[in-house]
A and B are shown apart, each in its own frame.
Chain A
Amino acid sequence: MLNFAMPAIQRHRRALSYVGAVLLVLAANLLALLLDQQLGYARVSMVFLAAVLISAVGLGSGPAYLAAALGFVSYNFYLVEPRFTFGIESEDIVILIVFLAVAMLTGGLAGRVRDQARQSRDRAQTTSVLFEAGRDFAALGEEAPIARRLADGLAGAAQGQAVVAIGPEILASAGATPSAGLLEALRTCEVVSAHLEGPDGWRLRGLWADGRRLGAAAWRPGLMQSEEVDQFRLIHVLLDMGASAMARARLGQAWAEIEARTRTESLRNALLSSISHDLRTPLAAILASATSLKTFGGVFEPEVRDDLLDTITEEAERLNAFVANLLSMTRLEADALAVQPSAFEIAEGLDRVHRRYAPRWPDRRLLLNLPDAPLTGWGDAILFEQALTNVVENALRFSPEGGEVRMAARRTGDMILVEVSDQGPGAPEDELGLIFEKFYRSPSANPNLQGAGLGLSIVKGLMEAMGGGVSAQRRTDGSGLIVALSLPEAP
């Protein structure tokens, strides 16, 4: 049943205020009698006027009119000659009529002022409730907190309990645990302009925004609480605001998802194009060399043939290293990298990397400084070499022609530190911590020298998997970067 009428509680309260007016006039009568008998003072119309005014200011215009009428009768009955009758002597009738007129007028005016004051107080309260709700809704970006805030606001407005149900997942309640019957009613409630009477005195309304049903809300006023038309309006405006805030949150979420997808997409494209470049360049060299040998093998000098065969070998090794990196990355991603630590000689790994990379970059100088005492690391020799390879290759790639890349190893405490320093552009101080992040591509470095931003992130993953770590610092003696790998020393 749709209901927008004045409820019983409110009628009850209205009646009470009329009783109050009657009591006030009775009190005025007592006071007038007292004044009359003790002081012989019979001109007490002011006392009744006071009762009318108090009724007007305290109880409203209706009770004030009642008080004026009762005051008129009492004044006439008790105090106007002939006393204790309702008869009126001719000269007193003027006083009585003037009293009635003044009482009616002042009572009516004061009552209206009171009613207006109350209305504007209610309106101010409504405004501030709506303002606060609007502010909170705007600050909350997600549906669930908005639903909670709406339930709180609704309970406050109804001065009772409230439940808000959005879709199958979000259920917010204030002051009550909804019963199964109420939940079922909420699930099916669709009305939007008014509300339904639900079970156990609950009132329900659907929540709609942009022509779509988001959910429903229910509220139940407190027991001793009156309900007024203003309050109904407040509740309905609150519900509309909540619904549109939730619709906005949904749009915001959808937008954020689209943005995230676009970001992932562009990241994936960068990664794919970089992987495709890193795979294709060695393949192109291998294929070109092999087909050259096939077509022109007979006319090539032996040195040329050897050089092409060397290219094929080196590029195949490069591909192999790249595939190893891809595999490590996948394993690190899946937390599936199981390190079987064992003792191994650090110097050997450095030497192997040096022997492999020094000839590959003839226009850079790759230098190796080994300490006199042997350094024995604790970890996986192959993974360590892979990490070192990535760092060295990075250093060579960013070095200028004729630049120097230095590899050195030493002991600090119970860790072994392997440092690779280059004479490249280095990195700004604020990027030093970021270069080991996956997919990090420095905005300050040449984009064509950078890969997918995977190499150093794999280094970090590998070293940490072996109980070590990696860090970077700027060279103090000129431009360039020092990357330090740390590894536990063998026990």
Chain B
Amino acid sequence: MSVAGDLLVVDDEPQILRSLRPALTAAGYGVSTADTGAAALIHLAGEPCDVVILDLGLPDMDGKAIIARLREWSEIPIIVLSARDLEDEKIAALDLGADDFVNKPFAVGELLARIRAALRGRDLRLAGRARFRSAELEVNFATRRAYVQGDEVRLTPREYDLLRTLARHPGRVVTHKQLIAAVWGPDASVDAQFVRVLVAQLRQKLEENPSAPRVLLTEPGVGYRLAEGDDA
């Protein structure tokens, strides 16, 4: 096992694999590749792997089907490669259990940041951490309190639930649907507009400049993401 972790890159375009491998290797990851969904599932069943980087357009099966199959038995972080304009596809992949996405084309640094966030999120989940802390923000899950620059901010229960959901997966995108389920309950039929309103309220309390957010970030058309913490 490599120092930083083992990755599986699933893409049917050889030039993508060819261009990604050197940088991922240089960043300390062990890199395996698969060019079909079947090959990816076989690899994951037998080999150690910490993060899957999955292109959604594969020749043999739909990338979303691979996510669904994998999630039947594995919690391994999945980062989806997709196009900027295919929002529905990304949302469907995330709702099926993918952890994050990167829009094609991307700079290698962006992909590396997502891999780090995915690994950290997994570690946080495993550690059962009681709080989230970044440069500006701290969320204490045990006491249900939030602090900005060390000062406590008073949040409504819904605001807290939304913040907690994002802070449980720092640096990772959370879809509108997932936020609605976490705040209003899994069966709630709530418009994404309510999430937008709640996020705006939260930003008033958390952000220095709510119209240029640095903490609670928007992923247009998909959902929201909390800027990564620094204590992982």
Q: In B106-148, which residues have CB < 8 Å from any A CB?
A: 106-109, 111
Given contacts A446-B59, A448-B12, contact A308 B22 (CB under 8 A): yes
Given contacts A276-B83, A295-B109, contact A288 B58 (CB under 8 A): no
Given contacts A288-B23, A296-B23, A296-B26, contact A276 B85 (CB under 8 A): yes
Q: Which A residues lie within 8 Å of B108 (CB)?
A: 288, 291-292, 295
Q: In A267-291, which residues have CB < 8 Å from any B CB?
A: 273, 276-277, 280-289, 291
Q: Looking at the assembled complex, report how far the CB atom of A358 sits from the nearest CB atom of chain B, in whole angstroms.
A: 15
Do residues A280 and B105 form an inter-chain contact, with CB atoms below 8 A? yes
Do residues B106 and A288 form an inter-chain contact, with CB atoms below 8 A? yes
Tell yes or no: A299 within 8 A of B by CB. Answer: yes
Q: Which of A281, A292, A300 contacts B15 (CB 8 A)?
A: A281
Tell yes or no: B19 within 8 A of A by CB. Answer: yes
Do residues B22 and A284 form an inter-chain contact, with CB atoms below 8 A? no
Tell yes or no: B232 within 8 A of A by CB. Answer: no
Do residues A314 and B15 form an inter-chain contact, with CB atoms below 8 A? yes
Q: In A137-189, which residues have CB < 8 Å from any B CB?
A: none
Given contacts A280-B104, A285-B13, A287-B105, contact A292 B23 (CB under 8 A): yes
Q: Of residues B16, B23, B59, which shows the largest number of chain A Cβ atoms within 10 Å of its Cβ?
A: B23
Q: SS class of chain B's interface: helix, strand, loop or mixed?
A: mixed
Given contacts A283-B105, A287-B106, contact A315 B15 (CB under 8 A): yes
Q: Looking at the assembled complex, report how far the CB atom of A441 sits from the nearest CB atom of chain B, in whole angstroms.
A: 15
Give the docked Cα–Cα distance between A277 and B60 (Å): 17
Q: Of residues A273, A288, A307, which shows the largest number of chain B Cβ atoms within 10 Å of its Cβ?
A: A288
Do residues A311 and B15 form an inter-chain contact, with CB atoms below 8 A? yes
Do residues B20 and A299 form an inter-chain contact, with CB atoms below 8 A? no
Do residues B107 and A277 form an inter-chain contact, with CB atoms below 8 A? no
Q: Which B residues lie within 8 Å of A446 (CB)?
A: 59
Give the docked Cα–Cα distance between A315 and B14 (Å): 11
Q: Which B residues lie within 8 Å of A223 (CB)?
A: none
Interface string of B55-84 (1 = CB under 8 A from A): 001111000000000000000000001010
Q: Looking at the assembled complex, report how far the CB atom of A257 sits from the nearest CB atom of chain B, in whole angstroms.
A: 27
Q: Looking at the assembled complex, report how far the CB atom of A8 sits from the nearest CB atom of chain B, in whole angstroms.
A: 74
In the complex formed, the residue of A with least CB distance to B24 is A292
Given contacts A291-B108, A448-B12, contact A285 B83 (CB under 8 A): no
Q: Which of B16, B85, B111 contacts A285 (CB 8 A)?
A: B16
Q: Looking at the assembled complex, report how far the CB atom of A310 sits from the nearest CB atom of chain B, in whole angstroms.
A: 9
Q: Looking at the assembled complex, report how far the CB atom of A420 sits from the nearest CB atom of chain B, in whole angstroms.
A: 21
Do residues A295 and B15 form an inter-chain contact, with CB atoms below 8 A? no
Q: Which B residues lie within 8 Å of A273 (CB)?
A: 86
Do residues B59 and A289 form an inter-chain contact, with CB atoms below 8 A? no
Q: Which B residues lie within 8 Å of A307 (CB)?
A: 18, 22
Q: Which A residues lie within 8 Å of B85 (CB)?
A: 276
Give the docked Cα–Cα distance between A295 and B19 (Å): 13
Give the docked Cα–Cα distance between A264 and B82 (Å): 25
Do residues A308 and B19 form an inter-chain contact, with CB atoms below 8 A? yes
Interface string of A291-326 (1 = CB under 8 A from B): 110011001100010011001001100000000000
Q: Which B residues lie within 8 Å of A315 (CB)?
A: 15
Q: Looking at the assembled complex, report how far the CB atom of A403 sits from the nearest CB atom of chain B, in whole angstroms.
A: 15
Q: Which B residues lie within 8 Å of A299 (CB)?
A: 26
Give the docked Cα–Cα distance between A291 and B20 (Å): 10
Give the docked Cα–Cα distance between A304 and B25 (Å): 11
Interface string of B187-223 (1 = CB under 8 A from A): 0000000000000000000000000000000000000
Q: Which A residues lie within 8 Å of B23 (CB)?
A: 288, 291-292, 295-296
Q: Looking at the assembled complex, report how far the CB atom of B74 sits from the nearest CB atom of chain A, in whole angstroms.
A: 24
Q: Which B residues lie within 8 Å of A2 (CB)?
A: none
Tell yes or no: A334 within 8 A of B by CB. Answer: no
Given contacts A292-B22, A308-B22, A311-B18, contact A284 B105 (CB under 8 A): yes
Q: Which of B12, B106, B109 contacts A284 (CB 8 A)?
A: B106
Do residues A288 and B83 form an inter-chain contact, with CB atoms below 8 A? no
Give the docked Cα–Cα distance between A446 and B15 (Å): 20
Give the docked Cα–Cα distance between A284 and B81 (Å): 10
Give the docked Cα–Cα distance between A281 and B57 (Å): 11
Do residues A291 and B16 form an inter-chain contact, with CB atoms below 8 A? no
Q: Which B residues lie within 8 Å of A449 (CB)?
A: 59
Give the docked Cα–Cα distance between A292 and B105 (Å): 13
Q: Looking at the assembled complex, report how far the CB atom of A308 sits from the nearest CB atom of chain B, in whole angstroms.
A: 6
Q: Looking at the assembled complex, report how far the CB atom of A201 sits from the nearest CB atom of chain B, in whole angstroms.
A: 67
Q: In B1-39, which residues have CB < 8 Å from any A CB?
A: 12-13, 15-16, 18-20, 22-23, 26-27
Chain A to chain B contacts (Cβ below 8 Å), 20 pairs: A273-B86, A280-B104, A280-B105, A282-B15, A284-B13, A284-B106, A287-B105, A288-B19, A288-B106, A288-B108, A288-B111, A291-B107, A292-B19, A292-B23, A300-B26, A307-B18, A308-B22, A311-B19, A448-B57, A448-B59
Give the interface of A toward B (CB within 8 A).
Answer: 273, 276-277, 280-289, 291-292, 295-296, 299-300, 304, 307-308, 311, 314-315, 446, 448-449
Given contacts A283-B105, A292-B20, 5 further A-B pairs with CB under 8 A are A281-B15, A285-B15, A285-B16, A288-B108, A291-B23
